[in-house]
Amino acid sequence: MTMSERELNRVEVLAQVDDGRLSVDNAANMLNLTRRQIFRLLKVYRQDGASAIRHKARGKPPNNRIHHARRDYALSVIKESYADFGPPLVAEMLAKHQTGTGKGWTATEGQTPQRKERLQKDRTPSARTSLKDGSVL
Tell me how far apart the alpha carbons of residues 21 and 14 are, in angstroms, rounded to a whole number: 10
Phi-psi category of 81—alpha, beta or left, where left has phi over 0 and alpha has psi -120 to 50?
alpha
Mean pLDDT of 100-117: 54
In percent, the amount of the chain with pLDDT more than 90 equals 28
Contact 8, 42 (CB under 8 A): no
pLDDT at 26: 95
pLDDT band at 61 (very low <50, low <70, confident <90, very high): confident
Phi-psi category of 12—alpha, beta or left, where left has phi over 0 and alpha has psi -120 to 50?
alpha
Residue 41 has pLDDT above 90, yes or no: yes
pLDDT tens readout for residues 111-136: 555 555 555 666 676 666 666 676 66
